[in-house]
Homo-oligomer: A and B are copies of this chain.
Amino acid sequence: MNKIIKNIWIVMVAIWFVACDSEPDSTHYPNVILTGEAVKAIRAEQAHLPLLKQSIDGLQKNVELEMMNGIEVPIPKDPAGGYTHLRHKQNYMNMYGAGVLWQVTGEARFANYVRDMLLAYAELYPTLEVHPVKASYAPGRLFWQQLNEAVWLVYVSQAYDCIAGILTAEQKELIENELLVPYADFLSVENPKVFNRVHNHGVWAAAAVGMTGFAIDNEELVNRAFNGVETGPKEEVGAGFLVQLTQLFSPDGYYTEGPYYQRYAMLPYLLFAQAIDNNRPEMKIFEYRDNILQKAALTTLQLTNTNGQFFPINDALKSMSYMSTSLVHAVDFVYGLDESQKELLSIARQQGEVIICEAGLKVARAIANGEARLFKWESKEFRDGPEGKQGAFGVLRSNSGKNSQTVTMKYASQGMGHGHFDRLTISFYDQGKEILQDYGAARYVNVEYKHGGRYLPENKTWARQTIAHNTLVVDKDSQSEGNVKTASSHHSEPWVFDASKEDVKVMSAKENKAYEGVNMHRTIALLNLPEVSEDAIILDLYRVESEAQHKYHLPYYYKGQMMHTNVDYKAETTALQAMGKNDGYQHLWQTAEGLMTEGTNRFVWLNEDRFYTLTTEAQTNDKLLLTRIGAGDPEFSLRNEPAVIFERDKTASTLFASAIEAHGNKHPVTELVSGLKGHVAEIKTLINNSEYTLVQLAFANESKVVFAICNNSNDQSASHQLMANGQEYNWTGVCQLFK
Contacts and interface: CB of A to CB of B under 8 A. Distances in A.
Contacts of A571: 633-636
A640 interface: yes
B86 A447 contact: no
A672 B640 contact: no
Interface stretch (A38-46, A248-256, A321-329, A465-473): A321-329
A548 interface: no
Interface string A567-579: 0001101111110
Interface string A660-698: 000000101111111010000000000000000000000
A137 interface: no
Contacts of A672: 86, 89, 446
B604 A669 contact: no
Given A319-B668, A575-B575, A631-B573, A86 B449 contact: no
A640 B641 CA distance: 9
Interface stretch (A294-302, A362-370, A478-486, A556-564): A556-564
Interface string A446-482: 1111100100000000000000000000000000000
A223 B670 CA distance: 31
**What is the count of identical protomers in the complex?**
2
A516 to B, nearest CB: 30
B86 A673 contact: yes
B604 A449 contact: yes
Contact of A668 (B320, B453, B564, B673): B320
A632 interface: yes
Nearest to A563: B449
Interface string A117-151: 00000000000000000000000000000000000
A639 interface: yes
Contacts of A447: 563, 606, 666, 673, 676
A37 to B, nearest CB: 30
B561 A636 contact: yes
A81 B673 CA distance: 7
A317 interface: yes
A324 B673 CA distance: 15
A506 interface: no
A676 B449 contact: yes
A589 interface: yes
Nearest to A327: B669
A177 B94 CA distance: 80
A445 interface: yes
A444 B563 contact: yes
A569 to B, nearest CB: 9
Contacts of A323: 669
Contacts of A448: 673, 676
Contact of A671 (B317, B562, B570, B639): B317
A626 interface: yes
A628 interface: yes
Contact of A445 (B321, B561, B671): B671
Contacts of A670: 324-325
Contacts of A576: 575-576, 589
Contacts of A640: 628, 640, 642
A626 B640 CA distance: 14
A258 to B, nearest CB: 16
Interface of A: 81, 86, 89, 317, 319-321, 323-325, 444-450, 453, 561-564, 570-571, 573-578, 586, 589, 591-592, 604, 606, 626, 628, 630-637, 639-640, 642, 666, 668-674, 676
25 contacts: A89-B672, A317-B671, A319-B668, A319-B669, A320-B671, A324-B670, A444-B606, A446-B666, A448-B673, A448-B676, A449-B564, A449-B604, A449-B676, A450-B564, A561-B636, A561-B637, A561-B639, A562-B636, A571-B635, A571-B636, A573-B586, A574-B577, A575-B578, A591-B630, A626-B636
Given A446-B671, A574-B586, 15 more contacts: A86-B672, A86-B674, A317-B671, A320-B668, A321-B669, A323-B669, A446-B672, A453-B673, A570-B634, A571-B635, A571-B636, A576-B589, A591-B630, A592-B636, A628-B630
